[in-house]
Chain A
Amino acid sequence: MSIILEAIRQIFKSPITLKYPFEKTDVPKDFRGRPVWNMQKCVGCGLCSRVCPSGAIEMIGKGLKAEIKHYVDRCIFCGQCSESCPRNAITMTDEFEHAGYDREKMIYEYRRES
């Protein structure tokens, strides 16, 4: 019986859900979203691509000329790359909306500006 009382009580409360695409919840401070590379700080050591458990990071070239390719469709957002980076060039942003129809569009490339 008590669940009926609970249900009646709920009628007078505002809904607990949010109208998602228009309203969004706050993301906590240390959220692990999509990692972003700062190519000014990157020295091209390749540690991020080596520690990545799912092979989502590809390094093209070597050293200071290296370019980074990040496959978001493979990324598991563990944050290991940003933790391992010796130059703190990788930050985990609070972006969490990565769903899409095309895997080709889920590749982010980071190039150096010469």
Chain B
Amino acid sequence: MAERICGICSDAHTTCYTQAIEDLLGIEAPPRAKYIRVIIAELERIHSHSLWLGIAAHEIGFDTLFMYLWRDRETVMDMLEFISGNRVHYAMNTIGGVRRDIPSEMTPKIKDGLDFLEKRIKYYIKTISSDRTIQKRTVDVGILKPKDAIELCAVGPTLRASGVKNDVRRDDPYAAYDEIPFNVVTHDGCDVFARIIVRCEEMLESINMIRYALDHMPAGMLRVRVPMAVEPNEAVSRVEAPRGELIHYARSNGTARPERYKVRSPTLANIPALCKMLMGQHVADIPIVLAGIDPCFACMDRLALIDVNTGRKKILDFNSLRENIRRMRGNCP
């Protein structure tokens, strides 16, 4: 069910969830399962970043690039469907390992797909860096200085595009990321153009990581046996989702159901930085600046109102929010 939080980074949520629960249970996924988790996570990163790149191209009115990007994105979607049995919700992770293997017969087909993607992404990087339309619309738009980025707790590619080298995969390695060599891509541009370049180069980096993981995948079990009883405890798990650092928190009280579960999605962390980016911008640039953080509003669709004077907290659901808006508007139907 954790997968249904997001349709784009569904694997990041399940990885984070299973890691939190594995931590609670005191078990660890076998090495092969960890490698498979990395492969799926990186394929998902390619798919999410190319989706975002298409959206960004669409927001600046460059629909030709949007169409071509999404055409090539089908390759990675087909690869994911081929490995896991579904295009969007892969259902690969389970508590204690993964559910499906990537047998050696699949490797050549995956590598062919990766070769194609690498060629295309390199072409897009060339196009984006030489195209005047993109340059005019993105360079020096939505500036986020490194100091502000750190102060406002930006995460993921938004933070890395401000020149800050920060990546959960490197800083707090989970799954098999401590065994796979990779570079943390950063850019000093601090603007939307830097965010585009960072995401493009991350895709190339992901391709190399998948190739390495496919070649060095250890043999062995896919999952370990899960104990039925959970001790009262609490666990925090961090994962580098395509949009940035994702945090899941779980607390158990000795029963089969969690006592408390909390998800901090990367979009929520990037929203304060967005306010800074929008300062002094043209109205016409708002869509691309907003799209620049790769927002996923479904992930952060929670609202808590805190009255500063009394300190009282109130959580609004959709219906009561609508009621309030109606009351404010007066006699609107």
Contacts and interface: CB of A to CB of B under 8 A. Distances in A.
B317 interface: no
A2 B130 contact: yes
Interface in B106-134: 123, 126-127, 130-131
B235 interface: no
Interface residues of B, number: 21
Nearest to B79: A28
Contacts of A54: 1
Interface in A1-47: 1-3, 6-7, 10, 16, 28, 30-32
A78 B91 contact: yes
A52 to B, nearest CB: 10
B136 interface: no
B100 to A, nearest CB: 7
B261 interface: no
B65 A3 contact: yes
Interface string A59-82: 000000000000000001111100
B85 A30 contact: yes
Interface string B67-80: 01001001000000
A1 B130 contact: yes
Interface residues of A, number: 20
Contacts of B99: 79, 83
Contact of A31 (B4, B81, B123): B81
B58 interface: no
Contacts of A10: 68
Contact of B89 (A3, A76, A92): A76
Contact of A79 (B3, B74, B85): B85
B327 to A, nearest CB: 33
Given A2-B127, A7-B64, A78-B91, A16 B85 contact: no
A64 B228 CA distance: 28
A86 interface: no
Interface in B229-277: none
A31 B100 CA distance: 12
Interface of A: 1-3, 6-7, 10, 16, 28, 30-32, 53-54, 76-80, 83, 92
The 6 tightest CB contacts between A and B, nearest first, are: A32-B85, A78-B91, A30-B85, A53-B1, A28-B82, A31-B85
Interface of B: 1, 3-4, 64-65, 68, 71, 74, 81-82, 85-86, 89, 91, 99-100, 123, 126-127, 130-131
